[in-house]
Amino acid sequence: MNRLLSLLGIARRAGKLSWGRDAVEESLRKGKAYLVLVAEDISAKTAAGVRFSAERAETPVLVIHETIESVSQAIGKKAGIVAVLDEGFAKALKARIQEADAEKGRESV
């Protein structure tokens, strides 16, 4: 398991994630989310809906280069979309994503 997925698992065990479209959108509406992460193989319709909600909440959304299956395995729950509910975890996850993308010559989305 890579460092990003390990950190997601730690955040989940610490109670600092919400997962699944409905829970993520509720976190966004309540202003609790600091960052939304979307698996690369999530449906375009689902991703668009979450992006819309995140824009309204002024919360950044990043597509991670991981599958729904790998995210689900890392957090122990089936999910392709997660909201990070802690500013420290959000900053750490964003930094890990940017590091991984830089190593692979990709731009963070």
Q: Does residue 89 sit within a domain?
A: yes
Here the CATH number for the domain that contains residue 90 is 3.30.1330.30
Q: Structure pTM?
A: 0.92
**Helix (H), strand (E) at residue 48:** helix 44-56
Domain count, the chain: 1
Q: Does residue 51 sit within a domain?
A: yes
Q: Does residue 87 sit within a domain?
A: yes
For residue 84, the model assigns a pLDDT of 99
Stretch 81-90: mean pLDDT: 98
Stretch 60-72: mean pLDDT: 96
Q: Does residue 109 sit within a domain?
A: no
Residues spanned by the domain of 57: 3-103
The C-alpha atoms of residue 95 and residue 57 are separated, in whole angstroms, by 21
For residue 105, the model assigns a pLDDT of 74
For the cut 80, the answer to whether the pLDDT of residue 109 exceeds it is no
